[in-house]
Structure 1
Amino acid sequence: MQSFDLTLVAGPPGVGKTTWISQFLANPSRPLFYLCPCAQDAVDFARIGYCFPWVSIISDDQAADVLADLPDQAQVFIELGFHMDLGSPLLVALPGRRIAIVPPSLDSSEWHNWADEVIPSPNQQVSGELASASGKLPTIWRSPLTGQVFDPPSLDEVLIELTGGAYGQVTRLKGIFELPDGQAFYVDFVEGLPGIEYTELKLPRWLEGRPDRFSGLEIVGHNLEQKTIAQALLTCCLADDVLLQYQRQYQQLQLEDETVAAETEPGVVA
């Protein structure tokens, strides 16, 4: 009989669910699978694929077939958004270990009641207010950005405004953005933690036209001015002629760097 391990991970936004899962995805010695239900256009869905290309990403429409025919020794991680009903028949029927990652300040919640194991969030300053029975759940707003390339200073300014409350209370922000030098960055913000974190994704530089790989923004918060946010993002996007000019410059710089590297290789006569 084939055997596999299935782990469901749940908790409030910003507690580090994807980070916790990622530590296991870094080892490709077993067949690895990742599913985040109802989030096919989510940033983390793409980030997992970019950072761990050996992981099989399961879409919603594939889930039933894939889970019914897993290879031997497979390890499956299912990340559950904070808005999902943990008592739904579909989730209840799934076998496997249930992990809840919660703020250290949160003593009891639906996640505590659901989980086999409760892990305190490494993000010590994340608030437990979201799980309050009297609290209103925040809104999730997602914007696909595939094909858009951003002016870095303008993007920085908008992200600072966003996380500073200019367009509503932002409790969580994450995004993948393409820059004119061909690099793609993952951007991460959690309310209560200092600053905005930028991480370069180890992807080939895109210097020929508009990128057709996924990029996008995901915001969790209250009273979000979605139209205003969308308009602010558009002001940071480069027009075709400007993007072409940038790409030509970076192509030339890349060519010069490659020439210098070739000339300094052992055995190459300048």
Structure 2
Amino acid sequence: MSTTSTISKKLAVSDPDQISENYAKKKKMTVPLFTGRKGGDPLVCLTAYTAHVARLVDEQADMILVGDSLGMVIHGMPNTLGVTMEHMIMHGQAVMRGAEKALVVVDMPFGSFEESPEVAFRNASRIIKETGCTAVKLEGGAEMAGTIEYLSTRGIPVMAHIGLMPQQMNTAGGFKAVREQDQFDAVVSDAKAVEAAGAFSVVVEGVAVRLANEVTNAVSIPTIGIGASVECDGQILVFEDMVGLFPRVPTFVKRYGNMEDMMRDAITRYSEEVRKRAFPTDEHTYKAKESS
């Protein structure tokens, strides 16, 4: 059975043949194709951290982000600050084993790019070499423009990240959305600065709708919203948030499934059957064979 038909069955798709046909027609996403979608059909973006989830997401997504949010949703960290290069590379490698056509972008973790453009290049090139991904993402606006330019002019595509920046939670006093109007001009300036520096796209996180619209209209590169506006050029959510696998649900997340309840039910039923000696049954065991 093909990978696409297997995925279709797992997702309970009503017409697997149509899904397979659409997937076969889907082009391999590149940075120029991604940037060319500015103002066009909305870009579908999701995170993934494992090969299997990457295969599922790849069927629909234009971009897969191996985000440093993996520290929280996979490794149980309180925030993203403890994520290391080794974490990002390991999960990036897993995602690249599952993704075929989506553009794969890997987050640069806290402390891996801020020191200097040279350090950022060393770490970004390591991520690309060791994972096979196409691009990296880093947080920061005008203050990181020099680093973005250094990377992009040396063959490393960069997706920027402005607005609410989780890696700056300590200086911001937590995860705080940008809603005060006196903050708007600075965020718009950040967007223009990262575009001028060579970023091929920019994530706009946790900002008021009006600000997200202003940013989208101010730059010629795609804006990818998360907690922003439907008018952004694309949207991204953390996969575990979207399918109901993470208990804390941010305001901007819509749950499209409740995998936690489904998994809890499966675990409960399995436990009950084991305790009753109802599992395994004959169909789940091996029969002895006569020696030849």
TM-score (norm 1): 0.31
The structure richer in strand per residue is 1
Bigger helix fraction:
2
The TM-score normalised by the length of structure 2 is: 0.30
